[in-house]
A and B are shown apart, each in its own frame.
Chain A
């Protein structure tokens, strides 16, 4: 009966994951390996293809609305203002051709790109929050502790969720409609060029563990339920919840990967690497805030990064 409970928990979290995250690993890997046939992503590898990228998105009509049809229009415009955005002149619009030609200088380009990444990240934080709320027992925790768990967990979760979208050559963006090459990201001016490299390095190694979507769901819940986040008021119930999810994850890995030795241990070790990546990422953002005159940080991300590490 205990194993049955753990299986039920895994199933529940997998369903919550599918409900809240529009691009699954299964779908992303299908796109990356060219199994989607006529729906191949548009490749951005230089400034010219970047400009054409928007045209591509406009012609295609974004499938976001299918996923998010239950949300208000307001939300949809926040979504489309991201990299997949067709909203020209939006504050966060990056692929908007008009804004590129109007503002001209290459310098502003990285900032605009950075802003559209922020928009998508903020939306992802909302998705992660909804996922967290579906973890059994999470909503019953002290509200201040829920905030702390999210504050410290979301960037780690974001980075883990990027891994399935990446391979050694680049990353899917805009809900899998666009593939942006690693070389292009590296060619942006400093420090923007340094932002993604550590994530590529981490992702290539993480992907070697070959987790599926149900295991990803459990791992994300484990990360969120970290009892050692600074400032937690009531650690015990968080640790108890995490322990149950850890058992479920361990069982799931044994069933799905019977010949992969120590996979559970290897996965837990990734959490150490992850914390270092987040610390470096936050420091880079804080540096950007100081050095870039025109930079504005999205209010939600600002809230999360304030006094974080």
Chain B
């Protein structure tokens, strides 16, 4: 899960954008 942290975040948050 740690290996794909940002992808997980992108999948789970719809409104708050990850700081790309």
- Point out residues on A near B: beta carbons under 8 Å: 71-72, 74-75, 78, 119, 122-123, 125-126, 129-130, 133, 143-144, 146-147, 150-151, 298-300, 303-304, 306
Q: How many Å lie between the Cα of A123 and that of B16 in the bound state?
A: 14
> Is B11's CB under 8 angstroms from A300's CB?
no
Knowing A133-B11, A143-B11, the reply to whether A74 touches B17 (Cβ < 8 A) is: yes
Q: Considering residues B3, B11, B20, which has the most beta carbons from chain A within 10 angstroms of its beta carbon?
A: B20
Interchain nearest-CB distance for A272 vs B (Å): 25
Q: How many Å lie between the Cα of A229 and that of B17 in the bound state?
A: 27
- Point out residues on B near A: beta carbons under 8 Å: 1, 3-8, 10-12, 14, 16-20
> Is A151's CB under 8 angstroms from B8's CB?
no
Interchain nearest-CB distance for B19 vs A (Å): 6
Interchain nearest-CB distance for B12 vs A (Å): 8
Shortest Cβ distance from A298 into B: residue: B20
> Is A126's CB under 8 angstroms from B17's CB?
yes
> Is A299's CB under 8 angstroms from B14's CB?
no
Chain A residues with CB below 8 A from B12, complex form: 143
Across the A-B interface, the 7 shortest Cβ-Cβ residue pairs: A78-B20, A129-B10, A75-B17, A300-B6, A122-B20, A147-B4, A147-B7
Chain A residues with CB below 8 A from B11, complex form: 129, 133, 143, 146-147, 150
> Is A119's CB under 8 angstroms from B20's CB?
yes
Q: How many Å lie between the Cα of A130 and that of B17 in the bound state?
A: 11
Q: How many Å lie between the Cα of A72 and that of B13 in the bound state?
A: 14
Chain A residues with CB below 8 A from B17, complex form: 71-72, 74-75, 126
Q: How many Å lie between the Cα of A129 and that of B18 in the bound state?
A: 12
> Is A126's CB under 8 angstroms from B18's CB?
yes
Given A151-B7, A303-B6, 16 more contacts at CB 8 Å? A72-B16, A74-B17, A122-B20, A125-B10, A126-B17, A126-B20, A130-B14, A143-B8, A150-B7, A150-B11, A300-B6, A300-B7, A303-B4, A303-B5, A303-B7, A306-B3
Chain A residues with CB below 8 A from B14, complex form: 130, 133
Contacting residue for B6 out of A71, A119, A299, CB 8 A: A299
Contacting residue for A123 out of B1, B6, B7, B20, CB 8 A: B20
> Is A126's CB under 8 angstroms from B8's CB?
no
Knowing A130-B14, A133-B14, the reply to whether A304 touches B20 (Cβ < 8 A) is: no
